[in-house]
Amino acid sequence: MPKIIACCVLFLMIATQSFAVQATESPASEVSLKTMIGQMIMVGFRGEGATAARVILRDIKQHQIGGVILFEKDYLRPQAVRNIISKAQVCDLVDALQDISTIPLFIAIDQEGGLVSRFKPTHGFAGTPSAQKLGEKPVSETFAAGERTGAYLKDVGVNMDFAPVLDVNVNPESPVIGAIQRSFSSDPATVAKYAHAFAQGMGRYGIISGYKHFPGHGSSLSDSHKGLPDVTKTWSKKELLPYAELLGTEPLHVVMVGHLYHRKLDADTPTSLSYPVVTKMLREKLNYDGVIVTDDLQMRAITNQYSIDEAAVKAVQAGSDIVLVGNNMKYDPKIVSKLVTSLTWAVHNGDIPIERIRQSYDRIMKLKHDSGLLVDDVSKQ
């Protein structure tokens, strides 16, 4: 019993202890481990207003999470409203979320155009063509589509769009990319050109783009929502070319790592949880020092093999900065506390060095500062 008590006390000390970090404006500021870990979590939630969304409001206040992602549909309740009814309603919802947050939130969405559009004309939002349709037209039309998207995202308070897709259309029959027109082209240079145009259009309105799905989902033969696609025989290095072209250039962006399996890149681990892929390839070979986000850790490509807790720890060990859990394919009102606990214990146990947490926190805060979300200095949290 004394050992258990001592362990619990030590855990609480670690969770609340302040560590010196390089914050955006104040190098001498001190930020708690709890705050740093909270900023590394982005989750989906149920509720279209402050009352219905009371669980996420609690989590924002208690755990200082860094962001949320909005969905139109509730996967487990097809007839239910998730987060989106109308422009005015989304504005009110986002205001309620931001008002309770000490540090401004990333408010994210998947608004690619075409079939992958959470905001639809029925909600009062102007639609845009799919990436494939845009890729068949002059690039100026893709820039204009990015502008239109950026304008209405800004109007409702969304500041991050997990678009454009940088996947090369290697396999037009890919059920999750080519078959539903999510790729601009089968030519990597064209993908880079059009994706950059879309991102620039959104960037005019301060929207952070999400380049996905690293290292390339376009050759997959299956859907990572349903299982782990093996791209060992179909993937090629040309799928990295759009990333090599765009990473580190304007406009502001993050990179989302996809759930794929490539035996020659990492024989033991999905790409999204792989140190050789995330750190060695994306960070070191492509020299990317921006924010990295996992694809939804509830997708069956991950949950068929790992628990959410285990996946979150492995993602951070691999080099990702934000662990994304849509909380939609499975709904857990306690998901945030579980993620915070698992990551905190991983630091306590030495499985994740505190410096790894500091690095992610610094990248996240820099992006929030550079995007205009964070105006004042972050002092003691």
Catalytically active residues, by annotation: 225, 295
CA 194: distance to chain centroid? 21
* Alpha helices by DSSP H, 211-299: 241-246, 275
Give, to the nearest 10 degrees, the angle between helix 354-370 and helix 335-348: 130
**Other CB atoms within 10 Å distance of the CB of residue 308:** 20
């705050």: which residue's tokens? 35
246: tokens are: 């765009």
Q: What is the dihedral of CA 7, 353, 375, 70, to 10 degrees?
A: -80
DSSP state of 281: I
Tokens 């000390």 locate to: 13
* Tokens, residue 300: 């069956």
Q: Are 300 and 225 in contact (CB under 8 A)?
A: yes
Burial (0-12, 13-18, 19+ Cβ within 10 Å), 28 = exposed
Which amino acid is present at 321? D
Cβ neighbours for 350, distance < 8 A, ≥ 6 positions apart = none
Q: What is the DSSP-derived secondary structure letter of residue 76? A: T
Strands (E), 29-162: 30-32, 41-44, 67-69, 73-74, 77-81, 106-109, 111-113, 116-117, 160-161
Q: Helix or strand or coil: residue 212?
A: strand
Give backbone dihedrals phi and psi of 210, rounded to 5 degrees, phi first: -120, 105
Q: How many residues does the chain have?
A: 381
User: In sequence order, what are the residues at sequence separation of 6 or more whose Cβ sits closer than 8 angstroms to the Cβ of residue 197?
Assistant: 139, 140, 142, 143, 146
